[in-house]
Amino acid sequence: MILNTSRFGDVEIEEDKIVSFPEGIPGFSDVKRYIILDHPNGPDVPFKCLHAVDDADLAFVITDPLLFNCDYNPDIDEQDLKELQITSPEDFGMIVIVTIPHDEPEKMTANLQGPILINLGTREAKQVFLVSDDCQIRYPLLQKEAVLR
């Protein structure tokens, strides 16, 4: 199908790649279907776009948290795993949303307190909230200690 986007124009997407968020994403609870688009410069760029399927304007930058913080191993609530029918670590993928300050993109941060889990089989997803305070809601991605691999 063709996805209309305000940022990237019309993009051809495969419908079976659509990720559904039954509860939406906090702040955007009406929007249930998203697709992950590669960075315009190619699939190797570690920043991708989580784009709403039914809203041409709504998109988030996402990344793999482990690229920036290899110790990130959040304790996911059992209830969340059950909801997404996740029974083993191979069942799901985890991404985090990146916030980019308008004038200072190098000060971008990732929301490690609210990672998004995706069941890779059912393609159902949810943004979960970590109870512990160990994971920052604004984790600076480009701090010196960041592991750039």
Residues that bind other proteins (CB under 8 A): 7-8, 25-28, 39-41, 44-47, 49, 58-61, 77-79, 82, 97-100, 102, 105-106, 108, 111, 113-114, 127, 129, 131, 137-138, 142, 148-149
CB-wise, 7 or 17, nearer to other proteins? 7
Q: What is the DSSP secondary-structure string of 30-70?
A: T--EEEEE-BTTBTTSS-EEEEESS-TT-EEEEE-GGGT-T
- Tokens coding 94: 């985890």
- Would you call 5 helix, strand, or coil by DSSP? strand
CB of 109 to other proteins, least distance (A): 9
**Total residue count of the chain as it appears in this document:** 149
CB-wise, 97 or 118, nearer to other proteins? 97
Strands 19-20 and 9-12, sheet pairing: unpaired
CB-wise, 93 or 114, nearer to other proteins? 114
CB of 58 to other proteins, least distance (A): 6
CB of 16 to other proteins, least distance (A): 25
CB-wise, 26 or 89, nearer to other proteins? 26
Sign of the CA dihedral with 105 first, then 118, 53, and 130 last: negative
Return d(Cα 130, Cα 63) in angstroms, integer.
18
